[in-house]
Amino acid sequence: MRILLTASLWLCIACAHAADYSAAPSTSGKPAWAGVPDVRRAWQDWTLNCQGCHRPDGDGSPATAPKLAGEVAKFLWVPGGREYLGRVPGIASSPLSDEQLRQVVNWMLWRFDARDVPANFVPYTAREIGTLRVHPMRIGMSALRRKLLRTVRAAGAPAS
Ligand code: HEC
């Protein structure tokens, strides 16, 4: 019985989101899904490992996690932001392999904030993610986050 219930639950989750896992917001001509050879798998990994806190649409909630939708790629605008995204605890400490994780991170950028991905964005590789996650951020993370966001606001979008 429990197996049946679990199976139908997953089926419902799959149905509810099957339609939108591969729909990136407008990319303004940028190559959506660069660095995500398996979009469906990346979405599944997101569903199982990230969306519980960040919500399916990346909207987050004050109680659990910050909003990624329309925001997350802005970290790529400023020095240190790229590294920050590879070192936040939810990413660095996830049980996913380096290869799965780099696809989830690239997928997340396209899926939730394609508009803000810089035109010269080079997708994360498994090797880069593997190097960054060795040093998950702990102490001083909130201060660094605030500093990066201040710099983002001051810098504005890079010219493309
Ligand atoms: C247990 C809840 C939780 C899970 C699971 C989780 N996160 Fe997070 N995430 C957070 C919180 C809370 C923050 C804010 C930084 C902090 O306090 O760790 C955060 C920060 C982030 C950030 C930086 C955004 C910002 O505005 O600072 C990104 C990007 C991110 N998470 C992506 C992911 C991805 C991708 C996964 C899955 C691999 C994931 N998270 C899993 C809770 C979570």
Q: Compute the distance from residue 1 Cα to the ligand 1 centre, in Å.
A: 34
The tens digit of pLDDT for each residue in 21-44 reads 788 878 778 888 999 999 999 999
Q: What is the mean pLDDT of residues 65-72?
A: 96
Residue by residue, what is the 3-state secondary structure of 91-135?
A: HHCCCCCHHHHHHHHHHHHHHHHHHHCCCCCCCCCHHHHHHHHCC
User: Percent of the chain beyond pLDDT 90?
Assistant: 69
Q: Which helix (H) or strand (E) holds 66?
A: none
Q: Which atom of ligand 1 is nearest to the CA of 137?
A: 18
Are the C-beta atoms of residues 82 and 74 closer than 8 Å to each other? no
**Higher pLDDT among residues 20 and 76, named by residue:** 76
Position 10 scores a pLDDT of 56
Residue nearest to atom 37 of ligand 1 (CA): 50
- Report the CATH architecture of 2-155: Orthogonal Bundle (1.10)
Are the C-beta atoms of residues 113 and 74 closer than 8 Å to each other? yes
Q: Which residue among 41, 46, 47, 50 has the greatest number of ligand 1 atoms within 8 angstroms of its CB, and so is best to mutate? A: 50
Q: Compute the distance from residue 59 Cα to the ligand 1 centre, in Å.
A: 12
Q: What is the mean pLDDT of residues 85-107?
A: 97
Q: Compute the distance from residue 92 Cα to the ligand 1 centre, in Å.
A: 9
Give me the residue spans of the domains in the chain.
Answer: 2-155
Q: Compute the distance from residue 126 Cα to the ligand 1 centre, in Å.
A: 19
Position 57 scores a pLDDT of 92
The tens digit of pLDDT for each residue in 104-142 reads 999 999 999 999 999 999 999 999 999 999 988 888 889
Q: Compute the distance from residue 55 Cα to the ligand 1 centre, in Å.
A: 11
